[in-house]
Amino acid sequence: GIGMGMTAPVSITAFPAEDGSLQHKVKVSLRIPSQFQANPPCPSDESVKIEERQGMTIYSTQFGGYAKEVDYVNYAAKLKSALGSEVAYREDFYFCSGYDPPMKPYGRRNEVWFVKE
């Protein structure tokens, strides 16, 4: 019953298939605003869960425009290529992050994050 507004980034946990495409399961994460973090309101929908994300080190790449699944897949492949085989990161998932409201037409920011192992 509490309106918290939208926060950024919105992170989607993507699970890549062996061919690099994304599996149909995803997890969407929204940041709880600072004033609610100590005592977040209880979700009224049982499919909504509150999780604490531990600190992490990420490898990231940024791109603009209205991001589609194919954009995230392509930039994940570019990031993987740029990192090469010497860098250890989680390969079972990665984050697709967006920072802008849907109605912002220009200067959009999207990122792909690989989590360092």
CATH number for position 30: 3.20.80.10
- Asked if the structure places residue 5 within a domain, the reply is no
- Asked if the structure places residue 35 within a domain, the reply is yes
- Asked if the structure places residue 72 within a domain, the reply is yes
- Asked if the structure places residue 1 within a domain, the reply is no
- Asked if the structure places residue 84 within a domain, the reply is yes
Q: Which tens digit of pLDDT belongs to each residue from 65-106? A: 999 999 999 999 999 999 999 999 999 999 999 999 989 999
- Asked if the structure places residue 59 within a domain, the reply is yes
Q: What is the pLDDT of residue 107?
A: 96
Q: What is the pLDDT of residue 19?
A: 85
Q: Are 75 and 109 in contact (CB under 8 A)?
A: no
Structural domain count, the chain: 1
User: What is the percentage of the chain residues whose pLDDT exceeds 70?
Assistant: 100
- Beta bridge pairs of residue 110: 63, 98
- Segment 36-57 shows an average pLDDT of 90
Give the predicted TM-score (pTM) of the model. 0.88
What is the domain extent for residue 54?
A: 10-116
